[in-house]
């Protein structure tokens, strides 16, 4: 059974040789630095350090910038070329670990033209810059961490009217220039492919910032609804070509709309603002033959799961353990209404063998052979996880998967 057959049978709760063997999120760069010191071969690396011509805007040389600055500040490399380069590196990474291959179709959902990336300031500890979405960020030089978000491009109607011009779904830069080559490769594949784009919570947040976007539910409801409706139209038009020309296996919508105790909005607000767009979009996707629509959200989204299922969503990930997202409990509650991805507590991998064994025993073994579950660490693997602990986790996962799957 090849990787695509295995994936499709598993997510449709059909018998297969074993669960798909994936790592869904990835690894912090500091984690890979540590692992290379502890025995991971140096050529097995997915860190993004390649620059198209070795220089940033403003004449700054690549070697003078810290390697943990996000890729979007590097400049010059076209979206599709950069995506293809990272995919090539990740293929080698997957092969080393024995992961089942899968790919995201390289469609550009970002602003076109992108905002000019600008270095605004630099001190001994940090760099402040404007990224290609027009967001001003401050990032630390020597530590991998979340950026400090300083400003966003949309605060009101006038800003949105201007920025929406950058989201023309018919722009030539949305699809790779060599799209026919992708079509040829994907039509003869033995691995699953998917489409991925921001959802109706994530896109306004990307443009407005977290705080302003949440206040907009009350202070600017007309603008927020207008942004959501616009994004629905954009995504449908953007994805139509791929869905018509490819046999897509799944669709991923990035939302991140919850924290450790619950969602950032009530089910009532979801129903009012987002459910109509979700229903329209999921129906469009389903009408093109794709029934696995997955929402990506950290945090505890339990309160939203019934309305997400009503909206046409068929899967959820990464099932963040510290937020109470337990795949075994979710299977008991929702049965085959939800495909589950993730759920392995990243903290257990740091604690040691007994914690890792307990995590696999409690979460993976009950679901092996039932279908509809892809185990994976519940977010990026942090740098407090030793290389030997991660190898033990993979070995236990293989043993559970290969020995118990039907």
Q: Specify the DSSP element, H or E, that contains 336.
A: none
> What confidence tier does 25 reach under pLDDT thresholds 50, 70, 90?
confident
- What band does 95 get if pLDDT is binned at 50, 70 and 90? confident
What is the reported pLDDT for 406? Answer: 44
Number of CB atoms found within 10 A of residue 210's CB: 13
Closest CA to 264 of 277, 274, 250: 274
CA 290 distance to own-chain centroid: 19
Residue 356, both tokens: 């890792």
CATH number of the domain that residue 320 is part of:
3.20.20.210
- Other CB atoms within a 10 A radius of the CB of residue 164 amount to 17
Q: What's the CA gap between 323 and 300, in Å, rounded? A: 5
Asked whether residue 119 is domain-assigned, the answer is no
Q: Report yes or no on 40 lying in a domain.
A: yes
- The verdict on residue 100 lying in a domain is yes
Take residue 266 and report the two structure tokens written for it.
Answer: 């009530």
Give domain status of residue 245, yes or no: yes
d(CA 336, CA 67): 43
Task: State which residues form the domain around 224.
Answer: 3-112+154-404
For residue 219, being part of any structural domain is answered with yes
User: Which tens digits make up the pLDDT trace of 41-53?
Assistant: 988 877 654 333 3
Beta bridge partners of 19: none
Work out the end-to-end distance of the chain between its first and last CA atoms, rounded to an integer number of angstroms. Answer: 13
Query: What is the distance of C-alpha 395 from the center of its chain?
Result: 25
Picking from 312, 338, 326, 335, the residue whose alpha carbon sits closest to that of residue 378 is: 326
pLDDT at 308: 98
Helices assigned H by DSSP within 246-386: 267-269, 275-287, 305-310, 327-334, 346-351, 353-359
> What is the pLDDT, as a whole number, of residue 147?
85
More confident residue, 143 or 158: 158
Residue at 132 is within a domain: no
Q: Mind listing the pLDDT tens digit for each residue in 152-207?
A: 999 999 999 999 999 999 999 999 999 999 999 898 899 999 999 999 999 999 99
Residue 143: per-residue pLDDT: 66
Do the beta carbons of residue 207 and residue 152 sit within 8 Å? yes
Q: Is the pLDDT of residue 74 over 90?
A: no
Q: How confident is the model at residue 70 (pLDDT cuts 50, 70, 90)?
A: very low
Residue 248: is its pLDDT beyond 50? yes
The predicted pLDDT at position 62 comes to 30
Helices (H), 178-317: 179-187, 202-208, 210-219, 221-245, 267-269, 275-287, 305-310
Q: For the ranges 115-129, 161-175, 236-250, which has the lowest average pLDDT? A: 115-129
Average pLDDT, the chain: 88
Provide the number of structural domains found in the chain: 1
Provide the H-helix boundaries in 19-69.
29-38
Res. 294 pLDDT band, cuts 50 70 90: very high
Alpha carbon separation from 304 to 48, 270, 283, 285, 345 (Å, rounded) = 35, 8, 19, 21, 21
Q: Please give the Cα distance from 136 to 133 (Å, whole number).
A: 9
Query: For residues 244 and 286, is the Cβ–Cβ distance under 8 A?
Result: no
CA distance 56 to 65: 9
pLDDT of 392 higher than 80: yes
Checking phi first, is residue 63 left (phi over 0); if not, alpha (psi -120 to 50) or beta?
Answer: alpha
Q: Which pLDDT does position 92 carry in this prediction?
A: 74
- The span from the CA of 252 to the CA of 59, in Å, is 38
Residue 75, Cβ neighbours under 10 Å: how many? 18
Which residue has better confidence, 354 or 59? 354
- Domain assignment present for residue 134? The answer is no
């Amino acid at each position: 059974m090849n990787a695509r057959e295995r994936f499709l049978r598993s997510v449709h709760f059909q018998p297969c040789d074993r669960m798909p063997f994936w790592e869904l999120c990835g690894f912090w760069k500091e984690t890979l630095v540590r692992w290379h010191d502890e025995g991971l071969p140096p050529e097995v690396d997915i860190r993004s350090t390649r620059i198209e011509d070795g220089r940033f805007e403003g004449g700054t040389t690549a070697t003078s910038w810290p390697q943990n600055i996000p890729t979007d500040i590097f400049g010059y490399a076209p979206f599709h070329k950069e995506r293809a380069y990272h995919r090539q590196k990740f293929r080698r990474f997957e092969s080393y670990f024995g992961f089942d291959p899968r790919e995201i179709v390289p469609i550009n959902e970002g602003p076109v033209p992108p905002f000019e990336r600008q270095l605004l300031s630099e001190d001994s500890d940090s760099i402040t810059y404007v990224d290609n979405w027009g967001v001003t960020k401050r990032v630390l030089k020597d530590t991998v961490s979340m950026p400090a978000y300083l400003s966003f491009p949309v605060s009101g109607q006038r800003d949105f009217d201007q920025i929406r011009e950058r989201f023309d779904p018919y722009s030539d830069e949305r699809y790779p220039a060599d799209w026919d080559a992708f079509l040829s490769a994907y039509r003869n594949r033995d691995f699953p492919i998917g489409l991925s784009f921001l959802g109706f919570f994530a896109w306004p947040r990307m443009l407005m910032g977290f705080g302003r976007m949440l206040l907009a539910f009350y202070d600017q409801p007309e603008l927020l609804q207008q942004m959501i409706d616009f994004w629905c139209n954009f995504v449908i038009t953007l994805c139509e070509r791929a869905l018509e020309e490819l046999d897509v296996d799944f669709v991923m919508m990035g939302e991140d709309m919850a924290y450790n105790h619950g969602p950032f909005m009530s089910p009532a607000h979801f129903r009012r603002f987002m459910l109509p767009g979700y229903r329209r979009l999921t129906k469009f996707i389903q009408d093109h033959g794709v029934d696995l629509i997955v929402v990506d959200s950290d945090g505890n989204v339990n309160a939203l799961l019934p309305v997400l299922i009503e909206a046409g969503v068929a899967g959820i990930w990464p099932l963040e353990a510290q937020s109470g997202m337990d795949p075994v409990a979710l299977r008991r509650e929702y049965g085959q209404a939800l495909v589950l991805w993730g759920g392995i507590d990243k903290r257990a991998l740091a604690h040691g063998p007994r914690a890792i064994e307990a995590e696999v025993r409690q979460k993976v073994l009950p679901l092996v052979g039932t279908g509809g579950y892809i185990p994976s660490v519940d977010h990026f693997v942090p740098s407090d996880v030793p290389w030997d602990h991660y190898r033990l986790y993979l070995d236990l996962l293989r043993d559970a998967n290969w020995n118990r799957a039907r």
